[in-house]
Structure 1
């Protein structure tokens, strides 16, 4: 390591990988990436084999193994949160599902003061810059970016039954949930290329790791920020065998994610003074929003027994692992070459929401995310949960020790609206799974089972059985109001100099899908902001807006006026009526 860098990036995960690539591209700016986890070694199949995705979760070699405080509306149980403990961060252990979210998510961001340039038109060019859509580039999709996206074949009998069932249930098909029309069902894009996981590290860091102006250091925990007045001038680091050091920086950019970035801010005296003093930290910059506004997607698995031997359950038997591994290693194909989340879709559970509030992941096996509860039986399932819950939580340090996990509380199921949506979600999923297309396969619902039927029983089951979809975000949000943490025009932490945050924590609100793609978009856009580059010009292709005219916020919220101004109802209605527009 050098003694000083132009940019020190704290966290070599998704956002950190993208920033390191872009900020070092000029060949002159010196960039240091500090990752607390280990390297994502090329010979590690549990990272690079898509079909092995269930094994890193809960494994201390790969997972930081966070968990929430007892959730008061879930019987006091703690909910496990896997976070990647390797270079590439959670993109090295996640489900590899690539979902941008709905254009309405970014229109929603833009209704907040100071966020006007984070609308869909301004975000779209950065989505396109980062991707190579192997299914074909167009007005909505990119064709020359680092992220090469394979589309799931979703061709097995169970996937075909699922898609047919969605049409029988009255829902549309779409060509591309990341393109013109999100609402509907289709095969999914995946961060899989030539049979291997394409993490942020593999896509952005590996190709440029030999640049002379880029250093990547793993097993390096940043324990605090170094200050001169309100300016951050560097970081303190602990490496193996308790070796302490520090490095100077022109800019420090936090990319630790929704848990670690607010934690490091609070440890360094940036946050709510009451929270800091209670943890034994002297306040330096008063920002009460640090660690607040925490959001996530909770999900359940509706599982059915399959009457026909067409699921992938037999492949989970341990004695088949050597064959699966050899087939993947030498031929780049087989069961190990797929993440198996090959298709799904988005719907609105009622006509009063502006855009889809429910995402389906279909899986041709009945199994928990960590691989448990399969018992080798044939089955299938859908992963479902509300996408736009109004539940808010927090991340708060308990003490001044940087090696202690912070207190994480999501407050799942704490609002009446959230509980109501959960009932709608499960009934919508059951409606699809009960269609005639599944008649030849359906051996009955095994989870939650037919005895769970009333609204109260459904919510109780969610409280006992739901797991996180692993999308923590929004805990150091962009904005210009009193609870905002990050300036959306500079990515700087309010009240400081030389300190920025770029990761999922800066989202003003959670997007309605898996958050990896939005994180990468934020990093791409932030890279131009940090480097002082001319931003990419906004693009305005038409998008499907079935819920145009529906209010986005509760009645009386002034932001509804801004939302309505961004929604062109006549154009949306014309697009809906146009023949051949993905409505089959």
Structure 2
């Protein structure tokens, strides 16, 4: 048994940042426990390789949600990273911060220091924006942000023109003064390689003598002395170990694993824990509750012009792009599947956008067993325009099923469980068709493949998006932040209510979801949370 100043459970988007920042001065010893293995894998580092990692149990928890009435009874696939870097090692790398109003609402809910003006300096410090620094963007930070405007497929320009014809202005930077409009997505990559949290933060920290990284180390229980967290029990290669924390235990397992570990350790809904025979250390009904996630769907079209399908599907095309990537770190394999997108309002009377768009210059209608068929797309020239809701009102939960730390928790997403969510998605899919009907795209579309021209009535459109929608992999809020334990799990300094020596620092603390992809905000949370820890060290 060894003692460290800090134990960080999870090396994902937030945990990697926490480990780096807490160890930077050399004053504190830090142990990082990661249930997965190394991120030094070809398909992890290659940006478009996440088609290979989408179902790979070597790097992916491969969770499955409960059959969801809102998704016509489908049990949704929930990939989460089980690897150094966590989900930042297997995600689509779209770099979106969220809207000013998202964070100002956090602060207004009783969380001082979490407003947009408070967080903007953090976002700027994190990034090394390829386009340079300005009033909103940062340069010289650990996370390199690539501007892909001159690298995306030519069909992207037709999408942008069609979006403009449908009324969306061109937006050159979704992380600038305004999020609304259509534009090309920036991605966290550098020199054709994924810029995960592990690459940006954890790898530099691993060279320090005061940092120890344990991989294949599954945290099974937080250890307490009364109401104080004092260490972690973990399993590694079939053996049980105990590590003690002289200062704090920091849980950074993400929206699934953080509430799971708290519940296994006796912090959570008392009836659930008592029913499973787990002694209650601190009762809090909100641990695992308030689950929020973005839900999305693609509309897919067969075109009259070549798309990435004609390059990525044939063997000679695979060889060509493979050699280009290996030799030059460029080409389609060096980019995200989401070339462009945008943000729009389903009702002009709304104060801000409530829907996100995605444009993909390829299509994957035909399934391929064992992997997401990104690298083996359809044999015809296809492309997709997708969307997801920014701030759905539906709420779910994540609860353990037993005392077994290797057992997967019960994920109840409750997608489209409110009339408001159904109504805005109905309006949103109609807007996707409006974009496709504009001259810039209509003249090169041969047919709508999914859902198809026969799906026209409101009832049929709703039935279709219930059947075909799914998570866009942004679960948050299962250990939500708030000033009192009657509504939250952690306080505004991310300390677990009712427990000392224990914090949760990851996207599970979001009071509400943000408008867009969550990885950048998760990294921000790691940076902000680690700063709070350091401020309290005497």
One fold, TM greater than 0.5?
yes
Q: Which of residues 106, 109, 114 in structure 1 aligns to 2:106?
A: 109
**SS of alignment partner, residue 54 of structure 1:** helix
**SS of alignment partner, residue 343 of structure 2:** strand
CA distance in 2 between counterparts of 1:156 and 1:431 reads: 22
CA distance in 2 between counterparts of 1:487 and 1:330 reads: 49
5 Å-filtered alignment, 1:141-160, equals: 141-153=137-149, 155-160=152-157
CA distance in 2 between counterparts of 1:441 and 1:334 reads: 24
Asked if structure 2 preserves the Cα contact closer than 8 Å seen for 1:8 and 1:253, the reply is: yes
Asked if structure 1 preserves the Cα contact closer than 8 Å seen for 2:312 and 2:377, the reply is: no
**SS of alignment partner, residue 116 of structure 1:** coil
Structure 1 residue 479 and structure 2 residue 482: aligned? Answer: yes
Q: Which of residues 280, 284, 288 in structure 1 aligns to 2:285?
A: 288
Asked if structure 2 preserves the Cα contact closer than 8 Å seen for 1:151 and 1:342, the reply is: no
Structure 1 residue 94 and structure 2 residue 91: aligned? Answer: yes
1:354 alignment partner in structure 2: 351
Q: Which of residues 204, 209, 214 in structure 2 aligns to 1:207?
A: 204
CA distance in 2 between counterparts of 1:313 and 1:274 reads: 56
Q: Which of residues 41, 46, 51 in structure 1 aligns to 2:48?
A: 51
Structure 1 residue 219 and structure 2 residue 216: aligned? Answer: yes
- CA deviation vs aligned residue, 1:507-539 (integer Å, no higher than 9, x gap): 0000010000000111111111011179xxxxx
Structure 1 residue 134 and structure 2 residue 130: aligned? Answer: yes
Q: Which of residues 455, 459, 463 in structure 2 aligns to 1:460?
A: 463
TM-aligned CA deviation for residue 499 of structure 1: 0.5
TM-aligned CA deviation for residue 37 of structure 1: 0.3
CA distance in 1 between counterparts of 2:362 and 2:309 reads: 6
CA distance in 2 between counterparts of 1:38 and 1:77 reads: 31
Gap change, CA 1:315 and 1:363, over 3 Å in 2? same
1:569 alignment partner in structure 2: none
**SS of alignment partner, residue 364 of structure 2:** coil
CA distance in 2 between counterparts of 1:338 and 1:175 reads: 18
2:190 alignment partner in structure 1: 193
TM-aligned CA deviation for residue 178 of structure 1: 0.4
Asked if structure 2 preserves the Cα contact closer than 8 Å seen for 1:287 and 1:483, the reply is: no
1:38 alignment partner in structure 2: 37
CA distance in 2 between counterparts of 1:325 and 1:172 reads: 36
Normalization by structure 2: what TM-score? 0.95
Structure 1 residue 64 and structure 2 residue 61: aligned? Answer: yes
Asked if structure 2 preserves the Cα contact closer than 8 Å seen for 1:279 and 1:397, the reply is: no
**SS of alignment partner, residue 13 of structure 1:** coil
- CA deviation vs aligned residue, 1:27-77 (integer Å, no higher than 9, x gap): 110011100001112xx2110111212110111112110011111222222
- CA deviation vs aligned residue, 1:7-34 (integer Å, no higher than 9, x gap): 1000011101011111100111001110
2:368 alignment partner in structure 1: none
Structure 1 residue 407 and structure 2 residue 410: aligned? Answer: yes
TM-aligned CA deviation for residue 271 of structure 1: 0.8
CA distance in 1 between counterparts of 2:330 and 2:194 reads: 12
2:431 alignment partner in structure 1: 428
CA distance in 2 between counterparts of 1:287 and 1:232 reads: 16
5 Å-filtered alignment, 1:141-540, equals: 141-153=137-149, 155-240=152-237, 242-249=238-245, 250-318=247-315, 320-367=317-364, 370-371=372-373, 374-481=377-484, 482-488=486-492, 490-532=493-535
CA distance in 1 between counterparts of 2:321 and 2:535 reads: 48
**SS of alignment partner, residue 121 of structure 2:** helix
Q: Unmatched 5+ residue regions in structure 2?
A: 366-370
Aligned alpha-carbon RMSD (Å): 1.6
**SS of alignment partner, residue 156 of structure 2:** helix
- CA deviation vs aligned residue, 1:348-379 (integer Å, no higher than 9, x gap): 11123221111111110112692279332111
**SS of alignment partner, residue 118 of structure 1:** coil
TM-aligned CA deviation for residue 283 of structure 1: 1.3
TM-aligned CA deviation for residue 184 of structure 1: 0.8
TM-aligned CA deviation for residue 155 of structure 1: 4.7
- CA deviation vs aligned residue, 1:204-244 (integer Å, no higher than 9, x gap): 1112311010111100001001110000100001001x111
Gap change, CA 1:229 and 1:515, over 3 Å in 2? same
Gap change, CA 1:457 and 1:329, over 3 Å in 2? same
CA distance in 2 between counterparts of 1:446 and 1:208 reads: 48
Asked if structure 1 preserves the Cα contact closer than 8 Å seen for 2:309 and 2:381, the reply is: yes
CA distance in 1 between counterparts of 2:14 and 2:85 reads: 9
Normalization by structure 1: what TM-score? 0.88
CA distance in 2 between counterparts of 1:239 and 1:75 reads: 40
TM-aligned CA deviation for residue 291 of structure 1: 0.4
Asked if structure 1 preserves the Cα contact closer than 8 Å seen for 2:309 and 2:379, the reply is: no
TM-aligned CA deviation for residue 85 of structure 1: 1.4
CA distance in 2 between counterparts of 1:402 and 1:162 reads: 46
Asked if structure 2 preserves the Cα contact closer than 8 Å seen for 1:289 and 1:484, the reply is: yes
TM-aligned CA deviation for residue 318 of structure 1: 4.8
TM-aligned CA deviation for residue 279 of structure 1: 2.4
Asked if structure 2 preserves the Cα contact closer than 8 Å seen for 1:287 and 1:485, the reply is: yes
